Structure 1
Amino acid sequence: MKRIILPLIGAIALCLLPVFAAAAPLVAKVDISSQTMTVVYNGEVAYRWPVSTARKGKWTPRGTWSAKWLSRHHKSSLYNNAPMPYSIFFNGNYAIHGTNQISRLGRPASAGCVRLHPDHAARLFELTQRVGKQNMRVVIQN
């Protein structure tokens, strides 16, 4: 009986993660298939922006995380000091951040991070500071 119940509880919990994430004051929902981010602030859709996620041969992780750390003027240590303004790191080296390649927004172009227009990244960064990292969720799904 335990062999059936524990996996069932685990599966239900995984299905409900996006629902629990939506209860956070600030949620950045990234839809890989449409290359868009929907920002939900205090339970209401506040913004819908184009993004760039991983290009062919690269990977953007799927799942739900809280913001781990912020870096306003970050430079990539992995990709030739590429500018990553208004970075919100959520999973290891993966972040939501601004890009200078705004013409590529709306289609896959990154090495795995979620790229935003710098103005949008600045707004999300400011909202994250306002609510606190622990109250910001990043949800990435197909």
Structure 2
Amino acid sequence: METIIRSAWLRRSGVFWVGLALIISSLFAWSVPSSAAPRSTRTRSGRWIEVNLSSQRLYAWQNGRRIYSIRISSGKRRTPTRVGTYAIQRKYRYKTMRGRGYVAPNVPYTMFYSGGYAIHGAYWHNRFGTPVSHGCINLPVSQARKLYNWAGSGTRVVIRR
């Protein structure tokens, strides 16, 4: 049986120290939360997702190593994908998505990262590599399933041009 011990944030001499999570099981393991990683996304520890709108690609990173590279479809010029740093807030195996002029029932592997913006599978088109969405990040369904199973709530999402 695993016992999880988490230490709190400590303030010392004007510097915040991030607590470590100690997981005690048959193997002893120390892990540093991704929030403790350096600001540079290239050296970040843990799991995070990078979306490059210029190349229309999504990259999944784990402990500084790229483990997935997937062609995407981001938002069209009239309905652009927002640039910034976010975190996955909610995950749904299937979710009906609605917006101005569209209803998409049973959208698979939906992960919301900012309000109504999400990374999700798209069964209604095969134009990956081209901006065609209403602002979300569209993936082929099989790739969305892999990413959905890999990323947890709180996983950092960095979207850049």
TM-score category by the smaller chain?
0.7 to 0.9
State the percentage of identical aligned residues: 30
2:147 is matched with 124
Name the structure where helix makes up a greater proportion of residues: 1
Shift of 1:20: 5.5
Decide which of 77, 84, 87 is 1:66's aligned counterpart.
Answer: 87
Counterparts in 2 of 1:102 and 1:26: CA distance versus 1, 3 Å: farther
Structure of greater relative contact order (alpha carbons < 8 Å, 6+ residues apart): 1
Larger radius of gyration: 2
Are the counterparts in 2 of residues 24 and 137 from structure 1 also a CA contact under 8 Å?
Answer: no
Aligned Cα RMSD in Å? 1.9
Q: Deviations over 1:54-111 (max 9, x none)?
A: 1121110000111100011111132313442101100000000000144210110000
1:48 is matched with 69
- What TM-score, normalized by structure 2, do the two folds share? 0.69
State whether structure 2 residue 118 is matched by structure 1 residue 95.
yes
- Rounded to whole Å, the distance in 1 between the matches of 2:139 and 2:112 is 14
1:139 is matched with 158
Are the counterparts in 2 of residues 35 and 53 from structure 1 also a CA contact under 8 Å?
Answer: yes
Are the counterparts in 1 of residues 60 and 67 from structure 2 also a CA contact under 8 Å?
Answer: yes
Unmatched 5+ stretches in structure 1: 1-16
Decide which of 107, 124, 128 is 2:130's aligned counterpart.
Answer: 107
Shift of 1:24: 4.8
Are the counterparts in 1 of residues 72 and 129 from structure 2 also a CA contact under 8 Å?
Answer: yes
- Rounded to whole Å, the distance in 1 between the matches of 2:119 and 2:112 is 7
Counterparts in 2 of 1:31 and 1:18: CA distance versus 1, 3 Å: farther
- Rounded to whole Å, the distance in 1 between the matches of 2:119 and 2:111 is 5
Partner SS state of residue 126, structure 1: helix
Are the counterparts in 1 of residues 75 and 132 from structure 2 also a CA contact under 8 Å?
Answer: yes
Give the counterpart letter for 1:48 in structure 2. Answer: S
